[in-house]
């Protein structure tokens, strides 16, 4: 049977145009319909508009796996994610801004998910600003060393907090 034939019962031949997902945000469950062929960037824009969250603060996880958008949008379609199935849960996290002060009194800011661990925050500092974080420790408050494997929220790190890289 011709794959373009509308009589075909093969779902791969005629994938659905939209998919229904459960969206978890701020402890509330929402129903959301999104285009199956949407890019991660397009979904972020849709949720930015719905929840009035700045785009740089939107972080998405689909079925507990992070959706990243480092690839060009054309290569980052939702339908290429192998974990998509009939029941999909999209989690929306609003990133917090933290400030990092170095021993040379330079200050940097990052938007991070408070569920990230300290080690990931250090990797982000290295990637974004080129800071040497391998032989340094993050502290919060100053002089309290943070464990690289611990989650940021465990230390009570919240919006606009200042951490120290020494």
| Residue found under tokens 């459960």 | 22
Flag the least confident range among 18-27, 51-60, 66-75, 156-165. Answer: 66-75
Do the domain assignments include residue 8?
Answer: no
Same domain for 58 and 126, yes or no, is: no
pLDDT band with cut points at 50, 70 and 90 for residue 35: confident
Do the domain assignments include residue 12?
Answer: no
Instruction: Give CA–CA dist 70/90, Å, rounded.
Output: 19
* Residue 66, pLDDT score: 79
Tell me which of 58 and 16 has the higher pLDDT. Answer: 58
Same domain for 80 and 120, yes or no, is: no
* Residue at a domain's end among 48, 69, 94: 94
Say how many residues make up the chain: 166
**How many Cβ atoms are within 10 Å of 23's Cβ, its own excluded?**
19
CB-based contact 136:148 (threshold 8 Å): no
Do the domain assignments include residue 2?
Answer: no
Let me know the angle formed at the C-alpha of 122 by 128 and 69, rounded to the nearest 5 degrees.
50
List pLDDT tens digits, range 53-103. 998 898 888 777 777 765 555 556 666 555 555 666 778 888 999 999 999
| pLDDT exceeds 90 at position 32 | no
Taking alpha carbons only, the member of 31, 29, 93, 21 closest to residue 61 is 93
In terms of residue numbers, what domain contains 44? 18-94
Same domain for 83 and 105, yes or no, is: no
**Stretch 11-17: mean pLDDT:** 62
Do the domain assignments include residue 66?
Answer: yes
Same domain for 82 and 145, yes or no, is: no
Residues 6+ apart with CB under 8 A from 164: 100, 101, 102, 103, 138, 139, 140, 141, 142
Same domain for 105 and 75, yes or no, is: no
CB-based contact 111:96 (threshold 8 Å): yes
* Residue 108, pLDDT score: 98
Do the domain assignments include residue 100?
Answer: yes
**How many Cβ atoms are within 10 Å of 56's Cβ, its own excluded?**
11
* Residue 4, pLDDT score: 42
Tell me the whole-structure pTM to 2 decimals.
0.73
List pLDDT tens digits, range 92-139. 888 999 999 999 999 999 999 998 999 999 999 999 999 999 999 999
Which of 15-19, 41-45, 112-116 has the highest mean predicted lDDT (pLDDT)? 112-116
Same domain for 52 and 108, yes or no, is: no
Same domain for 41 and 27, yes or no, is: yes
Number of domains in the chain: 2
Same domain for 24 and 89, yes or no, is: yes
Tell me which of 29 and 99 has the higher pLDDT. Answer: 99
Q: Are strands 65-67 and 96-102 parallel, antiparallel or unpaired?
A: unpaired
Question: Could you tell me the CATH number of the domain that includes residue 106?
Answer: 3.10.20.90
**Tokens (6 digits) for 32:** 């959301």
List for the chain the helix, strand, coil content (%; round to 5). Answer: 20, 35, 45
| pLDDT exceeds 70 at position 1 | no
Same domain for 25 and 89, yes or no, is: yes
């Amino acid at each position: 049977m011709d794959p373009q034939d509308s009589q075909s019962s093969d779902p791969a031949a005629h994938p659905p145009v939209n998919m229904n997902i459960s969206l978890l945000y701020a402890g509330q469950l929402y129903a959301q319909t999104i285009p199956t062929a949407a890019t991660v960037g397009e979904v972020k824009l849709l949720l930015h508009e719905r929840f009035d969250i700045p785009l740089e603060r939107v972080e998405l996880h689909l079925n507990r796996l992070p959706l990243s958008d480092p690839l060009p949008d054309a290569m980052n379609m939702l339908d290429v994610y192998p974990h998509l199935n009939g029941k999909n849960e999209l989690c929306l996290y609003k990133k917090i801004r933290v400030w990092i002060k170095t021993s040379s009194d330079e200050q940097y800011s990052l938007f991070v998910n408070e569920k990230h661990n300290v080690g990931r925050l250090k990797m982000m500092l290295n990637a974004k600003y080129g800071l040497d974080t391998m032989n340094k420790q993050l502290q919060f408050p100053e002089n309290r060393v943070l464990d690289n494997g611990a989650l940021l929220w465990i230390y009570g790190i919240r919006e606009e907090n200042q951490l120290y890289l020494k």
